[in-house]
Structure 1
Amino acid sequence: MQKKQTATIYDVASRVGVSLATVSRVVNGNSNVRESTKRKVLDAIEELGYHPNAVARGLASKKTTTIGVVMPDVTDMYYSELARGIDDVANMYHYDVLLTNTDEDPVRETMAINNLASKQVDGIIFMGNELDREVLKTIASVDAPVVLAGSIDAEKVLPSVNIDYVAAVKEAVEMVINNGHKRVALVTGPMEYAINKQHRLVGYQSGLEANGQDFDETLLFSSHQDYAAGYQLAEKIYATNATAAIVHDDEVALGIMNYMFDQGKSVPDDFEIITSNDTKFAIVTRPALTSIGQPKYDIGAVAMRMLTKLMNNEVVDNMQVTLPHTFEKRGTTIK
């Protein structure tokens, strides 16, 4: 008997006495095979230990049952929780997932999308804070549907799943203003990114205006998404006499908080902080960080479900999905 690990489609066809086309139809789920023949083919596949080649199946069915995920940092807790939602739903619909890490470099993002397209993935989920012109051009050239997860398309052309960042930041600003703060800093990523300029900044300004406070550009700050960047930036925030900050990233928020402690400030009595991603970093520190609550797993899961519909040419009623956010009030705000 043929060893299981070397069994081929030819062995299966020979064992049953049918054509290669018949075996291929069974493997690819084609219903145009008699039930008795199908049963014999499946039995032979099991006995011989035949494992259909995914590439060959893709050539026959024009599907590879593989999707690509482009993410800025596979170690970042925010993106890893989104990826978990993607992977669980992908597994439910029998898709394999290819993860690519880009370090949020547009050149690497473009290369990643092209590489995934060359592997004939059935669809792509893109995660990241910005879509530059070249990345958008590359996405448009791909012969596969692309869905954004936790990523903003300024023109709202691509299917996407997000929260309402404008409303979330506005509510955060109003929360600390209601706690008596008159100088509230906003910390974001690069302001040229749509998610910062068109969403977080707009929400911040709206929150100030709704509460009779003037916008002060000296209270705007940009930071990379890591602890050290937050700690270094905190010195500048401290110099403005700000007494509260709305921060775009949990590690950055931790850096700011620890700097304040090192200056003898009490958090939250002297300085309040609201972060945005609500990862495990926000929970394990003391005091725990008050945060905008994003349904990260759900963002990934809904994006993947949308992608399955697009890959199957199903109707998608809402291409711009906005999921509800919450607020997790913890130890870095008074109430």
Structure 2
Amino acid sequence: MATSIKDVAREAGVSIATVSRVLNDIDVVNEDTKKRVTDAIKMLKYRPNIVARSLKTQRTKTIGILIPDISSQFYPEIVRGAEDVSNIYDYNVILCNSDFDPEKEKEYLRVLSEKMVDGIIYMSSSLNEEILELITELNIRTVLVETKDEKGTLPSVTIDNVSAVYDGTKYLIEKGIKKLAFIGVEENAKNAWGDRFAGFKKAVEESGLSLDEDLMHFDSLKVKAGFDGVVKFVESKKEFDGIVCASDEIAMGVINELRERNINVPDDVSVIGFNNNFTASIFYPKITTISQPSYDMGSVAMRMLIKMLNKKELEQEHYVLDYEIIKRNSTK
């Protein structure tokens, strides 16, 4: 038979109300009494009924985390940073993977609302108007990671993706690389992926170079996008000596396909990735990449959300963390 709150109260020699106050971290209980209750909870291995508790407190101590691609090396590191902080404050995490599908994102938002999560950390593959309206309608406290909404209504943790890819592209141009190609997700996306192309475009145009549509490929952040992009570029018969990639996975696909075609990296073509995944540091050749602090993005977002849940004022609504170009062997 499962242990009840009555059993805990009996073992600790206190009232059920006192046990409830300890469980809900209400300060009116003195330290000696609190220790007797917590010792009884441990001895009896009592686990509170979260649903029953939430009906009284209107809180479940649960946070939803929505990511677009669990197979990526980037998003799990954000989740790890968020979860480490959630553990410190005794919050549980529900992880949802949307597979880059906006409809799946909306369904998960509704499910998390039904599960009565206290808040959501949201990494979006779209962040379109319908998604923003749904977040407002469901009235769940939400922190965005990796991107932010156009009006800045939701708190966010990002890097400056435009500047990051601008600097990465300029790094190649300063190496004498002039015929540049780009592989990303979506040219006009209102999120980090669109910003990465905007940074590439800005650097190319400011340097007096030309943008060539035959040397642009928009698909996904996965390895296959790198394969397909190289095939497109080669078949276009256009010359290229550098490829800027919106992810390290794309860069890996690029390098492998170039190798299959006996095109040397970096002697013939320089390649730069994005994210600084662990694999980028052990791939051959080791990939030059733009590093963003994924673990810190998750931990900062979770601290922001927990402050919001505890009705504490945020020092900042929008954190823009630092990025860094990691110079390795895939560029001249």
- Give the structure-2-normalised TM-score: 0.93
Q: Secondary structure at the match of 2:284?
A: coil
Aligned 1:141-290 pairs, distance under 5 A: 141-195=137-191, 198-238=194-234, 239=236, 240-290=238-288
Alignment match, 1:292: 290
How far off is 1:35 after superposition? Answer: 5.4
Q: Which segment drifts farther, 65-74 or 221-230?
A: 221-230
Give the TM-score normalised by the residue count of structure 1: 0.92
Aligned CA RMSD, in angstroms, stands at 2.0
Answer yes or no: is the 8 Å Cα contact 1:144–1:311 preserved in 2: no
1:195-223 Cα deviation digits (max 9, x unpaired): 36752232122212332223333332202
Q: In percent, how many aligned pairs have the same letter?
A: 37
Gaps of 5+ in 2: none
- Tell me by how many angstroms 1:16 deviates: 5.1
Report matched runs for 1:1-335 at 5 Å.
6-15=2-11, 18-33=14-29, 37-195=33-191, 198-238=194-234, 239=236, 240-334=238-332
SS of structure 2 residue aligned to 1:124: strand
For structure 1, list consecutive stretches of 5 or more residues without a partner in the other structure.
none
Aligned length: 330
Q: Does the 8 Å contact 2:146/2:192 carry over to 1? A: no
Distance of aligned partners of 1:260 and 1:23 in 2 relative to their CA distance in 1, 3 Å threshold: same
Q: Which digits, 9 at most, give the CA deviation of each residue in 1:108-151, with x for residues without a partner?
A: 10111111111111110011332122211111122321011113
Amino acid at match of 1:270: D
SS at match of 1:322: strand
| 8 Å contact kept, 2:183–2:225 | no
CA separation of 1:223/1:316 partners in 2, compared to 1, >3 Å: closer, same or farther? same
Q: Distance in 2 between matches of 1:292 and 1:299?
A: 15
SS at match of 1:205: helix
Contact 2:214-2:232 within 8 A present in 1 as well: no
Give the conservation status (yes or no) of the 8 Å contact 2:188–2:194.
Answer: no
Contact 1:172 1:274 in 2 (8 A): yes
CA separation in 1, counterparts of 2:156 and 2:80? 17
| Alpha-carbon distance between aligned partners in 2 of 1:245 and 1:65, rounded to the nearest angstrom | 45
Shift of 1:37: 4.7
| Cα displacement (A) at 1:276 | 0.7
